[in-house]
Amino acid sequence: MNKQFKSRSDILRQHIHIMFYGVNTSVGKLFDVILLILTVCSLAVIMLETVESVSMMFHRELLIAEWFFTVIFTVEYILRIYSLNKPLKYIFSFYGIVDLLAILPMYLSFFIIGSNVLSAIRSFRLFRLFRVLRLFSFIEESTRLRIALISSRPKIIVFLYTVVVISFTVGTVMYFVEGPESGFTSIPVSIYWTVITLTTVGYGDIVPHTGVGQFFATMLMITGYGIIAVPTGIVSAEIVKQKRTAGHRWQYKDKTVCHFCHSSGHSDNAVYCFKCGKKLEDSTN
Amino acid sequence: MNKQFKSRSDILRQHIHIMFYGVNTSVGKLFDVILLILTVCSLAVIMLETVESVSMMFHRELLIAEWFFTVIFTVEYILRIYSLNKPLKYIFSFYGIVDLLAILPMYLSFFIIGSNVLSAIRSFRLFRLFRVLRLFSFIEESTRLRIALISSRPKIIVFLYTVVVISFTVGTVMYFVEGPESGFTSIPVSIYWTVITLTTVGYGDIVPHTGVGQFFATMLMITGYGIIAVPTGIVSAEIVKQKRTAGHRWQYKDKTVCHFCHSSGHSDNAVYCFKCGKKLEDSTN
Amino acid sequence: MNKQFKSRSDILRQHIHIMFYGVNTSVGKLFDVILLILTVCSLAVIMLETVESVSMMFHRELLIAEWFFTVIFTVEYILRIYSLNKPLKYIFSFYGIVDLLAILPMYLSFFIIGSNVLSAIRSFRLFRLFRVLRLFSFIEESTRLRIALISSRPKIIVFLYTVVVISFTVGTVMYFVEGPESGFTSIPVSIYWTVITLTTVGYGDIVPHTGVGQFFATMLMITGYGIIAVPTGIVSAEIVKQKRTAGHRWQYKDKTVCHFCHSSGHSDNAVYCFKCGKKLEDSTN
Amino acid sequence: MNKQFKSRSDILRQHIHIMFYGVNTSVGKLFDVILLILTVCSLAVIMLETVESVSMMFHRELLIAEWFFTVIFTVEYILRIYSLNKPLKYIFSFYGIVDLLAILPMYLSFFIIGSNVLSAIRSFRLFRLFRVLRLFSFIEESTRLRIALISSRPKIIVFLYTVVVISFTVGTVMYFVEGPESGFTSIPVSIYWTVITLTTVGYGDIVPHTGVGQFFATMLMITGYGIIAVPTGIVSAEIVKQKRTAGHRWQYKDKTVCHFCHSSGHSDNAVYCFKCGKKLEDSTN
């Protein structure tokens, strides 16, 4: 096919492509927002269906709404595949599979009873929400946070490692201290209790009843209290560092260097070099 | 009306205005404190009324007290409107509506039985408490905290966004893992449980009973434990940055000021004024 | 009485004084440790007395032990008063009252049955534990932490203020949303629930049952999650600042200033001025 | 024995030694990973044994697996002793005792019924997991975290001290406020409750029922909320400081080194070497 002579179908494909993937175009943005609203609405429908009192009263309306969303998402899915040059890459990507799973259950419900329950997989479409961030100015902040988390990853892995080892060790000890009659029915359950305690969640569904168990629990809580400081410290330090670096970059970015004594570090509104007193020339000119 | 010849009523209005809005005058301060005490007392009355044992014994006294506060707040409301040049702006402002709602229920109780229950709206008058901060030297700190929170707003929004997406996704998954028999009666309830777990509140009214559910819960708790680090890190970094900036400002406070152009903010080792290029003289000599 | 001729009693008083208040003398330190151990032991006795199974078996032994500690603390109390020049100041001080209350109940138990229960007031003697910190090198750290907390006091007050206002407002709203049948029996109880939720403690003794209540609770938890960042940020920033100041003070404390170009900021091991190349003279000589 | 002529047994010993302790050799690394996987698998077996439904069905298989791991760990234990020059040091070390305790229970199960329950001591072998960190690049991060925690140790001790004193004092007070009928059966139990509340775990197995108790609990929670800020602040500040130091080191890494005395660490605007006074030449030219 010649590049100069694009067929109608090609132009259409291009338009659809812009709609779905043109984040920086107004059409693409509008489309993103519409798809987001549709996703949220379709999720609301699925959620309401699980609330017994609502699903009793509006069974019919909810079913119609669900079919409505399924049809729309089916059209979206087909158009996405159509508009892409490498549709297979999309089909087997995370979003591709999620998009398929979001529409499949409704069609399967013709053949298998109860399969429409699976339409809750649609909730994974929520990850698309992260795309919406791009629409606003939050993307930069989002990136910064991600960088902060990524650069503290080794520290966080060491930390999680410690948490896991503590959980397994204390969990095993508590199983033998407390025993099944206190609710510590097995070592995995005991580990589950340890994590509940260490993270200060504290459901209270399993609690130690013996004095020794309560003493160990007390120790574990104070440890957890101290340990919570570590990830916070890690992330705080990372963001502080980022801020400092960003601050410096900003401060010196377009900064004039004295042409006579070559000293730098002049403040923003400096007109004369603070070292030799010569007039500064704006390097941005 | 001539500005030179103020009528008696005008002078009265001015006096009332100073009473209510003159934060920096001693009269205004005194008035703020009195209104604060009255608000707190009236709230205490409403609270005690809801405690059955107390309301049984002191029903009469509490009713008298409530009428007393209602009359006072009515007078305050009328005087505020009277003293302002643009009363409508106040009437439809947040505080204006709260002030009206704080007195209305008692008058309505003549016509509608049970409406005095609504007088609890008075608790919104508590927001006036923030005004009291101005009386003391806390207002600066309050402003700093607000600035720190506002400048970390984009980061906090991204963070909350992530929390919401996690809550919805995990909530939906847990509904299908645990099901109604474990207390996960619907997806909204399941999301409610997810938030309880993620924020480490952990009421324990709904807890996972299956092994898979407990495993997911464990993962979620450790995630929540890690996630709690993020907002803390954001706010910490912001306050550290503020402090540093404030520290620098303080550092330069008593630094040499140029004798010619009176510009300040010269860096430590500056020899010449960066604004006019004249030699700086050390003010400490 | 002549200062030159100290009576025997005076010398004795001085010795006792050193014993009790000479923190920096070896006798004083030894005494502090002994008193600490006695306080901890006496508390252990009181605690064991409240554990039914133990108090049943060792009733006699515990009573003897308690009388033993009471006699020792009585002697301590009398000697303290005797050794001081201004005994009244001690008697009406916090520790004076605590020391008296720690011994009184046992003597009162001759006249009033059950009064020895009050001997638990002895637990306030634990505050003496803070004195032990002086014995070790922790006192400096303790002071630093206190300074960090004191200098962030205005920020913390503003923060607590906000927490109180939120607790009262949300507490009142939740009382009307949930009502007594969900356990929100009165506004004070509802405020108690709000604090439990906001601080992420989450006992689960009172939980919302209505959908609206659960929605508000969810909002409150996420708010609490965000709010927890603020005090942490405040204290972190304060300690970071302290560390930096301490670091600078240490770095520049005895630092040489060049006698020729008067430039400062030389590093620790600098021998020549980095600006003019002249030899630095040690200012500490 | 002559050093030149190593017997076969010596070479074997050396090979085994490398296997077990040669962290930097590929054989040692492989061995570490294999032992880690075996430890994890053996723990999984012990855990599954405590889950009733699983142990019922696979009793035979689990017993075989446990004997398999016991034999392997026995061989490992013997080889370790054999390969070391000072076997006694290992035998009485923490890991030596854990390794012995991990295999002993199974052999004892021939003589004592139920002793194989003790094989859960094997969970302490999990501490070996920390060794695995060495295999990857996490060891540096791990060291940094440990340094951060060690240098904040005095602060953390003071903090824990305060937590303990608060727990004991408030615990004792709450015992008398609430009494046994609310679940505060003894002072130790009351202290257990205080720690649960202060650390924001909040099981809800013991909750205050009186108004006064709930008020104290509310105060305690807000205190705990504020106190949680302190360890976080301490660790954050420590990591920020570490980062800054590390950052500076990095900053000066490629800075001018004096061509005469080879000293480094010159500040940014240095013109002369601070050690020898010779003029610095810009290495970037």
The answer on B216 and B232 residing in a single domain is yes
CATH number at residue A205: 1.10.287.70
Last residue of a domain, one of D75, D102, D134: D134
Record: contact A187-D269, CB cut-off 8 A = no
A204 touches C: beta carbon within 8 Å: yes
Which carries the bigger pLDDT value, residue B272 or residue B56?
B56
The answer on B203 and B83 residing in a single domain is no
Query: Tokens for C40?
Result: 């901890």
pLDDT category of residue A215 using cuts at 50, 70 and 90? very high
D156 touches A: beta carbon within 8 Å: yes
At A283 the pLDDT is: 41
A37: in domain: yes
A176: in domain: yes
Q: Which residues contact C249 (CB under 8 A, 6 or more apart)?
A: none
Last residue of a domain, one of A70, A102, A134: A134
The answer on C279 and C195 residing in a single domain is no
CA–CA distance, C91 with C104 (Å, rounded to integer): 14
D189: in domain: yes
A141: in domain: no
Which carries the bigger pLDDT value, residue A230 or residue B79?
B79
User: Among partner residues D200, D202, D236, which is closest to B236 by beta-carbon distance?
Assistant: D236
Q: Which of A205, A236, A243 best probes binding to C when mutated, by most C CB atoms within 10 angstroms?
A: A236
Give the number of domains in chain C: 3
Among the residues of A109-152, which ranges form H helices?
129-132, 138-151
At B197 the pLDDT is: 92
ipTM (interface predicted TM): 0.73
Shortest Cα distance, chain D CAs vs residue B226, angstroms:
13
CA–CA distance, A173 with A212 (Å, rounded to integer): 11
CA end-to-end span of chain D, whole Å?
Answer: 61
The answer on D163 and D129 residing in a single domain is no
Shortest Cα distance, chain B CAs vs residue C157, angstroms:
8
Record: contact C203-A204, CB cut-off 8 A = yes
Percent of chain C residues past pLDDT 90, beyond the cut:
8
Q: Residue D67 is which amino acid?
A: W
The answer on B204 and B103 residing in a single domain is no
- Cα-based distances in Å from D106 to A179, B105, D61: 21, 76, 15
The residue in chain A having the minimum alpha-carbon distance to the alpha carbon of residue B230 is A235
Provide the chain B residues 221-240 that lie in CB contact (below 8 A) with chain D.
232-233, 236, 240
The answer on C267 and C188 residing in a single domain is no
User: Among partner residues D43, D160, D240, which is closest to A240 by beta-carbon distance?
Assistant: D240
CB-based contact B216:B170 (threshold 8 Å): yes
Q: Which of D192, D197, D205, D225 best probes binding to C when mutated, by most C CB atoms within 10 angstroms?
A: D225
Question: How many CB atoms are closer than 10 A to CB C100?
Answer: 16
Record: contact D238-A240, CB cut-off 8 A = no
CA–CA distance, D260 with A62 (Å, rounded to integer): 83
User: Among partner residues C138, C192, C202, which is closest to D202 by beta-carbon distance?
Assistant: C202
Which carries the bigger pLDDT value, residue C72 or residue C176?
C72
Record: contact B218-A200, CB cut-off 8 A = no
Query: Tokens for C262?
Result: 């008067």
Q: Which of A158, A166, A169, A212 best probes binding to D when mutated, by most D CB atoms within 10 angstroms?
A: A158
The pTM (predicted TM-score) of the whole model is 0.77
Q: Which backbone phi and psi does B271 adopt, to 5 degrees?
A: -110, -35
CB-based contact D195:D165 (threshold 8 Å): no
- How are the residues of chain C apportioned to helix, strand and coil, as percentages rounded to the nearest 5? 75, 0, 25
At A251 the pLDDT is: 39
The residue in chain A having the minimum alpha-carbon distance to the alpha carbon of residue B272 is A274
D114 touches B: beta carbon within 8 Å: no
Record: contact D232-A234, CB cut-off 8 A = no
Shortest Cα distance, chain C CAs vs residue B85, angstroms:
30
The answer on B265 and B240 residing in a single domain is no
The answer on A49 and A34 residing in a single domain is yes
CA–CA distance, C95 with C105 (Å, rounded to integer): 16
The residue in chain B having the minimum alpha-carbon distance to the alpha carbon of residue C217 is B192
A182: in domain: yes
Q: Please report residues of D whose CB lies closer than 8 A to that of B200.
A: 200
Q: What is the mean pLDDT of chain B?
A: 75
Q: Please report residues of D whose CB lies closer than 8 A to that of C272.
A: 272-277
Last residue of a domain, one of C134, C162, C179: C134
Instruction: Quick: pLDDT tens for A115-161.
Output: 555 656 666 666 555 555 554 555 666 677 777 777 777 777 777 87
Record: contact C214-B202, CB cut-off 8 A = no
B139: in domain: no
Query: Tokens for D227?
Result: 């106190």
C202 touches B: beta carbon within 8 Å: yes
User: Among partner residues B202, B233, B240, which is closest to D202 by beta-carbon distance?
Assistant: B202
CB-based contact A66:A74 (threshold 8 Å): no
The answer on D125 and D26 residing in a single domain is yes
The residue in chain A having the minimum alpha-carbon distance to the alpha carbon of residue D251 is A245
The residue in chain D having the minimum alpha-carbon distance to the alpha carbon of residue B204 is D203
Maximum average pLDDT range among B252-261, C179-188, C237-246, D137-146 = C179-188
CA angle B173, B175, B180 (to 5 degrees): 165
CATH number at residue C26: 1.20.120
User: Among partner residues D51, D127, D232, which is closest to A233 by beta-carbon distance?
Assistant: D232
The answer on A161 and A269 residing in a single domain is no
User: If you count residue pairs, one on A and one on D, with CB atoms under 8 Å apart, how many are there?
Assistant: 141
The answer on B128 and B213 residing in a single domain is no
Chains that touch B (3 or more CB pairs under 8 A): A, C, D
A70: in domain: yes
Among the residues of D1-128, which ranges form H helices?
8-21, 26-50, 52-57, 59-83, 87-91, 94-108
At C215 the pLDDT is: 92
The answer on A38 and A125 residing in a single domain is yes
Domain interval for residue A205: 151-248
pLDDT of chain D along its 285 residues, tens only? 445 556 777 788 877 777 777 666 777 778 777 887 888 888 888 888 888 888 888 888 888 998 898 899 889 889 888 888 888 888 888 778 878 877 877 787 777 666 555 666 666 666 555 555 554 555 666 677 777 777 777 777 777 877 888 888 888 888 888 888 888 988 899 999 999 999 888 898 899 999 899 999 999 998 887 777 777 777 777 777 776 665 444 333 334 455 566 555 555 555 665 556 666 654 433
At B226 the pLDDT is: 73
C32: in domain: yes
